[in-house]
Structure 1
Amino acid sequence: MRVVVIGGTGHIGTYLVPSLVKAGHAVAVVSRGSRRPYRDDPAWRDVEMVTCDREAAEQDGQFGTVIGQLRPDAVVDLTCFTTAQARQLVDALDGQHVVHTGSAWSYGPSAIVPTTEDAPKHPHGEYGINKLAVEQYLMGEQGRVRASVVHPGHISGPGWLPIGPAGNLDPGVIDSLRADGSCLLPDRGGETIHHVHAEDVAGLHQACLGQPDAAAGQSFNSVCTQAFTLRGYAEVVARHFGHEPRLQFVPWDEFVSRVDPEHVEVTLDHIGRAPLHSMEKARTILGFLPKHDVTDTVLEAIDAWVGANRS
């Protein structure tokens, strides 16, 4: 196929684009041209790179035209966040398969776990609400396009710091666990956070492309087959760096008083949703299972971050 990947130099595209090329597809990547992939791969030499500022082109009403002129058989949209963006894309296509990157945030707080794709959705926050609206729009446009939606959890991998054991992106949490195994956690550390390796998110997008009849009209969770509790995550990281865990559990109000407000907000975003999702649908319909387990996913990302930032 000729596959157009929108936003193909980010976390997911770094793995997806070379894999598509190696599978024999002709690939065009549409991006602003301001970012290099996180990993080098000779396959990028065979990729058609198209420089386009999506936001500017959408404001001029030209973004759909840019994509349509590339004459894709399928489109992978990794950077769509609103229904207005999705509508411009759909209006430029004629029945092609569109694989859209949604988000586990579109579910809202976990209720019955593991959360399956048919669970009622009650998102809060602009990002999750918009991602649900895009999914609903695309599923209502079956016929004009053949749409599939992939809902990643906390995307992780070498090149960036993953959501950490305190449910935020505070590098000091990792530094403390490296230094002596210590970590401050809210309450009893029982909330879940659900990571996924960027390579597995890419793999599920590719699985949708490879089985369009099965994937069209469907949404799929994209997470590791297991999730961490905050406590379990902190223990794994402490021991990874050779320490017995020294965890301190404090009531939420005390946690708030001792942690930077920016990090507190991110923690609350994560533990307030306590994501824990099922991968059974992807396995049953597409035969897809993640390659990376949750421990390897976070430790690979942390080790790469430490090597780049703390050496």
Structure 2
Amino acid sequence: MTTSTVLVIGGSGFIGKNLVAQLLKEDVQVRSLDLGPSGISDERLSSWSGSFLQQELLNEVMTGVDTVYHLAATAMPREANLNPHRDCLDNVGGTLGVLETALSAGVKRVVFSSSGGTVYGPTEVVPINEDHPTHPINAYGVSKLACEKYLRLYNGRAGKDGPLSTISLRIANPYGLQQNIRKAQGALTTFCARAAVDEAITIWGDGEVQRDFIHVKDVARALCLAGQSEVSGQEINIGSGKGTSLNALIAEIEGVLGHSVKCEYLPARSIDVKRNYLDTSKAKNLLNWQPEVNLRDGIQELLDGFGKKS
């Protein structure tokens, strides 16, 4: 890698842990800032306990850092929608704080984790490329989009040690074993956790909504490549490039298990768009990235991890 020291804001989160592990494979010095420990023990990893909203702490942890990965958010999508004002103050305002601190600390590059699942809103065509109109229908998507715009605004601004370079990755629906399903995130991980212990799977609507499911290890690789890349001032989709309905997801899980699973269908929610899956050709062309973990293998890994062998 071209950087010597990197900071992962949100290094103890689901994507953060996997990114830290991937960065350590690249043999760089990694700093993690989060409210809890990452659970990773490595002499090249230093951890700070706290929030990206704590300015003095942010100043301290960014000193001597070349690249910052900003993965943290103070609210999940459902929580953000319940309190859009707080979500904006914390996450949009907090991201501005990250960018300002990066300038003053001499950081060379900031990589932002955006949301390919929410910034676009209702889709006109699929797969969705980065030029598709952005009309998010929930507060989480609005704040992510606002943060992207600020990253563009700060791209190329003169900092302490030269211009700042920024990039945003619009990540689809990540899944994997370390995902915290108690936060009401991760449909695929939640489905597999329930199926593994023969609990009913809750589906909002008729199950025909289509989503783009991407393994977290593929996301971590994409983030690493984005940190190394010279591409700047842009947004890039990161997903599987394929749409899978929830009903098809259930069928895949049943195929791995070898038997049917229980499902409970509830009324559709207004915050859910009908179809969302991403065109990832830009990531392939600009970052030399494409997904490697196929859906069936990812489901097998989840079910095995949750203790149910096929």
Q: TM-score, normalised by structure 1?
A: 0.78
Who is 1:278 aligned against?
279
3-state DSSP of counterpart to 2:286: helix
What is the rounded CA distance, in whole Å, between the counterparts of 1:77 and 1:184 in structure 2? 32
Unaligned runs of 5+ in 1: 257-263
What is the rounded CA distance, in whole Å, between the counterparts of 1:163 and 1:196 in structure 2? 11
> Do structure 1's residue 19 and structure 2's residue 27 form an aligned pair?
no
In the TM superposition, residue 234 of structure 1 has moved relative to its aligned partner by 1.3
3-state DSSP of counterpart to 1:62: helix
Q: Superposed, which structure 2 residues align to 1:1-311 within 5 Å?
A: 1=3, 2-32=5-35, 34-37=36-39, 44-55=42-53, 57=54, 61-68=55-62, 70-80=63-73, 82-94=91-103, 96-104=108-116, 105-144=118-157, 145-160=164-179, 161=181, 163-164=186-187, 169=190, 174=195, 178=198, 189-211=207-229, 213-214=230-231, 216-243=232-259, 255-256=266-267, 265=269, 269-270=271-272, 272-306=273-307
Contact 1:196 1:224 survives alignment (8 Å): yes
3-state DSSP of counterpart to 1:115: coil
What is the rounded CA distance, in whole Å, between the counterparts of 2:150 and 2:278 in structure 1? 23
Structure (1 or 2) with the larger CA radius of gyration? 1
Q: 1:273 to 1:101 in 2, by over 3 A?
A: farther
In the TM superposition, residue 121 of structure 1 has moved relative to its aligned partner by 0.3
Contact 1:109 1:122 survives alignment (8 Å): yes
In terms of fraction of residues, the more helix-rich structure is: 1
CA-to-partner distance for each residue in 1:55-74, whole Å, 9 max, x for gaps? 4x1xxx43542343x22111
What is the rounded CA distance, in whole Å, between the counterparts of 1:240 and 1:30 in structure 2? 38
Q: 1:243 to 1:222 in 2, by over 3 A?
A: same
Taking only aligned residues, the RMSD between alpha carbons, in angstroms, comes to 3.0
CA-to-partner distance for each residue in 1:234-291, whole Å, 9 max, x for gaps? 111112111268989x7xxxx33xxxxxxx65xx544x25211111110011110112
What is the rounded CA distance, in whole Å, between the counterparts of 2:18 and 2:123 in structure 1? 29
In the TM superposition, residue 140 of structure 1 has moved relative to its aligned partner by 1.3
What is the rounded CA distance, in whole Å, between the counterparts of 1:274 and 1:45 in structure 2? 44
In the TM superposition, residue 196 of structure 1 has moved relative to its aligned partner by 1.2
Give the letter for the 1:108 counterpart: G
What is the rounded CA distance, in whole Å, between the counterparts of 1:9 and 1:291 in structure 2? 24
CA-to-partner distance for each residue in 1:6-62, whole Å, 9 max, x for gaps? 111211122211221221221111122x2444xx5x6x332011222334x1xxx43
3-state DSSP of counterpart to 1:291: coil
Q: 1:13 to 1:148 in 2, by over 3 A?
A: same
Moved more, 239-248 or 84-93: 239-248
Q: 1:21 to 1:164 in 2, by over 3 A?
A: closer
What is the rounded CA distance, in whole Å, between the counterparts of 1:247 and 1:198 in structure 2? 25
What is the rounded CA distance, in whole Å, between the counterparts of 1:154 and 1:137 in structure 2? 23
What is the rounded CA distance, in whole Å, between the counterparts of 1:64 and 1:172 in structure 2? 36
In the TM superposition, residue 209 of structure 1 has moved relative to its aligned partner by 1.2
Give the letter for the 2:17 counterpart: T
Contact 1:221 1:282 survives alignment (8 Å): yes
Q: 1:225 to 1:286 in 2, by over 3 A?
A: same
What is the rounded CA distance, in whole Å, between the counterparts of 1:234 and 1:10 in structure 2? 26
Aligned length: 276
Q: 1:163 to 1:87 in 2, by over 3 A?
A: closer
